[in-house]
Amino acid sequence: AIQLTQSPSSLSASVGDRVTLTCRASQGISSALAWYQQKPGKAPKLLIYDASSLESGVPSRFSGSGSGTDFTLTISSLQPEDFATYYCQQFNSYPTFGGGTKVEIK
Amino acid sequence: QVQLVQSGSELKKPGASVKVSCKASGYTFTTYAMNWVRQAPGQGLEWMGWINTNTGNPTYAQGFTGRFVFSLDTSVSTAYLQISSLKAEDTALYYCARDSPGGTFDIWGQGTMVTVSS
């Protein structure tokens, strides 16, 4: 199975900060990567698909990049509602998720 | 609107069975496959497998064979997850999630908490 490693596992940031989250795949997955946001007590929400395509309704401050094995999710200006846990997921083969990055308030 | 609504929380004893439902609305149920995802308390997301809503054919991820069964009732646009011989380690939130044409999970149910305790 393809393993996804997210880093860091957690980070503290302030409102307005630019934040970059990383996801590394154990083998090449082309652009078959998605990013999800999960808030406490809520279901995950799709943010980015195909590594860099923004899901409808998702604010443009979210962006994704990468291909092959290395991917990033960037939040250009962190907003209060963005404090959450973020998961990457590959769908090149049977789906797997990364371990998550928790974004906390500094 | 497009949504998936899951059944309520369950408290079961070890060895019992549980059946979680996931009712779809706002779209043609048989057009999109349905996935099941587990989230143990304080842990990450784990894909359990998926079911082809057109054929009813299930695919189970490693670690989810034997005691886990996916099924459908297309007449009521509902997918089911049944877990038998429950163990304490099955305690988790279980989500259904629609499979988008691109392979991502674009619509999620609200989750069903299954607690296994004597």
Mind telling me how many Å the CA of A49 is from chain B's nearest CA?
Answer: 7
What span, in angstroms and rounded, lies between the C-alpha atoms of A2 and A68? 12
Q: β-strands B68-73, A10-13: how paired?
A: unpaired
Mind telling me how many Å the CA of B104 is from chain A's nearest CA?
Answer: 7
What span, in angstroms and rounded, lies between the C-alpha atoms of B21 and A83? 30
Residue B102 has a pLDDT of 81
CB pairs under 8 A between A and B: 53
Choose among A46, A49, A95: nearest Cβ to B47.
A95
- For B102-113, write each residue's pLDDT tens digit: 889 999 999 999
Residue A74 has a pLDDT of 98
**E runs forming strands in chain B:** 3-6, 10-12, 18-25, 34-39, 46-51, 58-60, 68-73, 78-83, 92-99, 105-108, 112-116
Nearest Cα neighbor of A76 from A45, A54, A100, A44 is A54
**In degrees rounded to 5, what are phi and psi of residue A72?**
-135, 150
Q: Do A43 and B45 touch (CB under 8 A)?
A: no
Q: What is the DSSP string of A5-25?
A: EEE-SEEEE-TT--EEEEEEE
Residue A63 has a pLDDT of 98
- For B36-80, write each residue's pLDDT tens digit: 999 999 999 999 999 999 999 999 999 999 999 999 999 999 999
**B46 chain-A contacts, CB cut-off 8 A:** 97
Residue A25 has a pLDDT of 98
Q: Do B105 and A89 touch (CB under 8 A)?
A: yes
Structure confidence at residue B101 as a pLDDT band (50, 70, 90)? confident
